[in-house]
């Protein structure tokens, strides 16, 4: 295997890893496992010269790829949006990073609402565009302040049941409807507000802060995972860490963090190697 082939496999593994992570976040990783098993069978059929199995699986893949495009069109669109963010220097940072005072205002209101059992759903945008995931609501473009947050989520406000969107240092929309999660394992003890917060975290890189009006608890949703927050300090740390990552000047890439997601990275490299041996090696390249 030449140096060129190694670079070829390494580059291809980046794209495979990005796809695996997207499918994992949408709880569709089991489909990837199925593809891996079928791919290994196909590779064995080619190596050991089983023409019937090889031809049948070749036909299967030609039809299956079309089905994948239709079934996962939303995920594929997000995947290419991420690629665009990587390649476009103007898309590295969305707006200006919220200052510490802005974060503190959101945290203080969340703590107060938790004690009063007032519902709240605030979404901090990441690098990906949220527009196609939002419906309804009202445009605002206002500065982050405690009185504004309290008035929006007051029971008499027309948008108190919806989500509030923060992009950079600005509240851009409120009363927004978000896609609902179907991950009943995580939301079974929660209501619609948590389902919406987890839903936006499954289809984008945003962070959602949810206050339950029934339980008086605070939760955060990110990367398809919903978890409870024990204190205001923990919430402040979570939001600050998220914003530091999303507004960092370094170029964003799904493989950032060498020690994160090791199994997925190994799997991506393994799939790239298998693909090279199946598609390239037989042709002598």
Q: What is the pLDDT of residue 22?
A: 67
Q: What is the pLDDT of residue 81?
A: 67
Q: What is the pLDDT of residue 212?
A: 94
pTM of full prediction above 0.75: no
Every domain of the chain and the residues it spans: 3-89+261-283, 100-246
100-246 belongs to which CATH class? Answer: alpha beta
Mapping DSSP onto H, E and C, the string for the chain reads CCHHHHHHHHHHHHHHHHHHHHHHHCCCHHHHHHHHHHHHHHHHHHHCCCHHHHHHHHHHHHHHHHHHHHHCHHHHHHHHHHHHHHHCHHHCCCCCCCCHHHHHHHHHHHHHHHHHCCCEEEEECCCCCCHHHCECCEEEEEECCHHHHHHHCCCCCCCCCCEEEEECCEEEEEEEECCCCCCHHHHCCCCHHHHHHHHHHHHCCCEEEEECCCCCCEEEEECCEEEEECCHHHHHHHHHHHHHHHCCCCCCCCCCCCCCCHHHHHHHHHHHHHHHHHHCHHHCC
Which residue stretches of the chain have pLDDT < 70?
Answer: 1, 21-32, 68-69, 71-75, 81-98, 248-261, 281-285
Q: What is the pLDDT of residue 256?
A: 45
Q: What is the pLDDT of residue 251?
A: 43
Q: What is the pLDDT of residue 260?
A: 61
């Amino acid at each position: 295997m030449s140096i060129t082939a190694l670079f070829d496999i390494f580059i291809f593994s980046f794209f495979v890893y990005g796809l695996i992570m997207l499918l994992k976040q949408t709880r569709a990783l089991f489909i990837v496992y199925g593809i891996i098993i079928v791919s290994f069978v196909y590779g064995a059929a080619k190596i050991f010269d089983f023409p019937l199995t090889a031809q049948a699986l070749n036909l299967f893949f030609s039809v299956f790829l079309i089905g994948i495009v239709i079934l996962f069109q939303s995920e594929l669109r997000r995947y290419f949006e991420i690629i665009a963010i990587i390649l476009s220097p103007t898309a590295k940072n969305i707006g200006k990073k919220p200052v510490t005072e802005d974060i503190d205002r959101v945290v203080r209101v969340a703590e107060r609402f938790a004690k009063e059992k007032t519902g709240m759903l605030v979404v901090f945008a990441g690098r990906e565009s949220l527009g196609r995931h939002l419906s309804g609501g009202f445009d605002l473009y206002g500065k982050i302040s405690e009185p504004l947050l309290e008035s929006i989520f007051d029971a008499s406000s027309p948008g108190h049941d919806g989500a509030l969107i923060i992009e950079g240092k600005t509240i851009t929309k409120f009363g927004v409807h978000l896609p609902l999660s179907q991950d009943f394992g995580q939301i079974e003890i929660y209501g619609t507000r948590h389902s919406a917060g987890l839903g936006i975290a499954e289809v984008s890189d945003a962070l959602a802060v949810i206050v339950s009006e029934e339980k008086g608890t605070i939760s955060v949703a990110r990367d398809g995972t919903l978890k409870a927050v024990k204190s205001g300090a923990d919430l402040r740390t979570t939001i600050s860490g998220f914003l530091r990552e999303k507004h960092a000047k370094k170029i964003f890439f799904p493989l950032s963090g060498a020690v994160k997601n090791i199994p997925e990275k190994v799997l991506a490299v393994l799939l790239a190697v298998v693909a090279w041996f199946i598609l390239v090696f037989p042709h002598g390249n």
